[in-house]
Amino acid sequence: MPSRRGLLLAALPGAAALAAPALIRAARAQGVPAVMRLSHQYPPAHHNARVIAAFAEDVARRSGGSVQVQVFPAEQLAKAGENFPGVARGAFEAAAAVNFQWGTTIPEMNAPTIPYLFTDLARIRRFIAGSEAAKFLEGLLERRQVRNLMWLYTTRMSIFTSNRKPIVSVEDFRGLKIRGLNPLTDHALSAVGAAPSAMPGPEVPQALQSGVLDAGLTDVSAAVSRRYYEFQRYGTVAPYFAVISHVYVNPRWWNGLRPEQRQAIEAAARQAEQDQIGVTEETAAAAVGELRARGMTIHEQTPEEAEAWKARMQPPVMEAFLRLAPENGRRVLELMQAL
């Protein structure tokens, strides 16, 4: 198997295999399977990873073996921050990301992660089902030289974890070094006196165990798959925000596929999107019980507590979002609120 370093070095501008769709089509006309190397950060036990693995099998079946999706979970192929440049330059064909990882590169992608804005399941379903909001964001992705393939609803239930004491009121955040997501959404944590430090999910467990962080923030299912119960005592489950992951591909590679191959991938992607909704909801419901069974003290946020958090945490993020995305921010919010 090629090394990650070797694949990334292959991403020089003008890399022949991806810069020349005609060559790709010629190879496939001779019966050579198309290969989609798909990099993602999720551990194999994460529900996103399971859906992506099933997607790979579905593509093989629908394409009659003419497309092979090779999945590299848990950052085996590239670190989370290397996925976008790797796909855009052609080092590998596809990657998965969570929406907030686009940060300031595509600030509009942060909209689902504004606290307490987009956690209604019916609206999430409508977003995924070919909505104008989704199409608008896909257009922004295309400007960055990647083509969106599918949206994978990842969570609408977050968990704030700690070893010192439960995080229940906004006052409990004061002075905590907490895992952040990116400079935009971290305004919410700063507003309640915490000191956020943005880092990818795979790095958080070590940071918590070493004392670099006092508190964690992740989706409730990831707290199980990353074994938070082994090093965190308390957890507060809250409908804090939605996280929408997505899989994107290199457009030159995509354009080099035969039409029937693209159709097979698209059909498998639509099935994965629908499968993900059920898997995410079932996994989240089971995760709360499992964390309790594993010894964590879990508090489920009340509607009154949620309103108190929203009043303090949503406004600074909303203001920062509109400053960061002056051209398209209001339009994205309008499209999402219309769902």
Are 67 and 150 within one domain? yes
Are 33 and 79 within one domain? yes
CA 319 to CA 326: how far, in whole Å?
A: 10
Residue 338 CA to chain centroid, in angstroms? 23
CA 303 to CA 300: how far, in whole Å?
A: 10
In this structure, are strands 234-238 and 158-162 parallel, antiparallel, or unpaired?
Answer: antiparallel
- Closest to 174 (Cα-Cα) out of 214, 204, 208, 207: 214
Are 8 and 120 within one domain? yes
CA 218 to CA 236: how far, in whole Å?
A: 11
- Domain region containing 224: 158-242+284-337
β-sheet bridge partners, residue 298: 235
CA 66 to CA 33: how far, in whole Å?
A: 5
Burial 103-122 (b: 16+ CB within 10 A, else e): beebbbbbbbbbbbbbbeee
CA 52 to CA 56: how far, in whole Å?
A: 6
Q: Is 252 in a helix, a strand, or coil?
A: helix
Give the pLDDT confidence score for residue 103 in this predicted structure. Answer: 87
**Regions of the chain where pLDDT drops below 70:** 1-30
Are 64 and 38 within one domain? yes
Are 224 and 329 within one domain? yes
Place of tokens 């190879």: 27
Domain count, the chain: 2
Are 277 and 288 within one domain? no
β-sheet bridge partners, residue 36: 69
CA 25 to CA 29: how far, in whole Å?
A: 6
Place of tokens 């489920």: 300
Q: Is 287 in a helix, a strand, or coil?
A: helix
Residue 139 belongs to a domain with what CATH number? 3.40.190.170
Are 148 and 165 within one domain? no
CA distances to 8, 53, 180, 261 from 103, in Å: 22, 27, 12, 32
Say how many C-beta atoms besides its own lie within 10 A of residue 74's C-beta.
15
Give the pLDDT confidence score for residue 31 in this predicted structure. Answer: 76
Q: Is 209 in a helix, a strand, or coil?
A: helix
Give the pLDDT confidence score for residue 30 in this predicted structure. Answer: 55
Are 169 and 310 within one domain? yes
Are 305 and 184 within one domain? yes
Are 42 and 120 within one domain? yes
Residue 217 dihedral angles phi and psi, to the nearest 5°: -145, 120
Give the pLDDT confidence score for residue 191 in this predicted structure. Answer: 98
CA distances to 107, 111, 184, 298 from 325, in Å: 6, 10, 11, 36
Are 126 and 149 within one domain? yes
CA atoms lying within 13 Å on the CB side of residue 293: 6
In this structure, are strands 94-98 and 34-39 parallel, antiparallel, or unpaired?
Answer: parallel
Say how many C-beta atoms besides its own lie within 10 A of residue 193's C-beta.
14
- Closest to 281 (Cα-Cα) out of 160, 155, 158, 159: 155
Are 27 and 126 within one domain? yes
